[in-house]
Amino acid sequence: MGRGYAWLDTGTHGSLLDAGNFVRTLEDRQGLQTGSPEEIAWQQGWISDEALLEIAARYQKNAYGSYLAQLINS
Lowest mean pLDDT across 1-5, 29-33, 54-58: 1-5
pLDDT number for residue 18? 96
Residue of higher predicted confidence among 35 and 37? 37
Please enumerate in sequence order all residues whose Cβ is within 8 A of that of 56, keeping only pairs 6 or more positions apart, or say none.
38, 65, 66, 68, 69
Mean per-residue pLDDT of the chain? 92
pLDDT number for residue 2? 76
CA distance 12 to 55: 35
pLDDT number for residue 73? 82
pLDDT number for residue 3? 76
Average pLDDT over residues 45-55: 97
